[in-house]
Amino acid sequence: MFRKPDCIIIRIDYGANYRSVRNRVREKLEENNIKFSIETNPNRVFVFTEDIENVISILKETDGISSFSPAWSCFSGLNEIKLLATDIAEKILDLGEKKTFALRVRRAGRHKFTSKIIAEEVGGAVKRVTGASVRLKNPDRELFIECRSRKTYIFTEKFTRNNE
């Protein structure tokens, strides 16, 4: 069985106080006796936990959050990103020859590669492994990649507060 997501990326509402939201999340997780660690990066809060489902329920009720995503993390090396993305495409998204996909890539920090190179390299690897085709408009599945400094986060869905 493929490993579960190991963190949740939290995006803060525009205009919300970043520190207040982070502290509110921390307090709610502690109140619910959830084991976690928090890392911050500009405009993002990352909650690392094994209790993803319970954290999702809590975040849906937390003010100041615009959206959040359960994610898998890896080192920000192109080979590591390709390996993780192809595993997710194959085992989580269930991509195959009759399916289409799109990569949505964001990058922040200094790297030896651009977002375009990530998209080209990872997209090519996913095509080779799954046989799926790239379709940027209205794909069957989307794979989101956020490459930030030393870690890269890959996810398949976004939740908004009070919605699924």
Contact 61, 162 (CB under 8 A): yes
**Residue 120 domain-assigned (yes or no):** yes
Task: Give the residue numbers spanning the domain of 140.
Answer: 77-148
**Residue 161 domain-assigned (yes or no):** no
Both 84 and 46 in one domain: the answer is no
Q: How many domains would you assign to the chain? A: 2
- So what's the pLDDT on residue 163? 54
- CATH of residue 92: 3.30.2130.30
Q: Express each pLDDT in 65-89 by its tens digit.
A: 999 999 999 999 999 999 999 999 9
**Residue 155 domain-assigned (yes or no):** no
Does the predicted model carry a pTM greater than 0.85?
yes
Both 83 and 140 in one domain: the answer is yes
**Residue 164 domain-assigned (yes or no):** no
SS3 155: strand
Q: Express each pLDDT in 18-62 by its tens digit.
A: 899 999 999 999 999 999 999 988 778 999 999 999 999 999 989
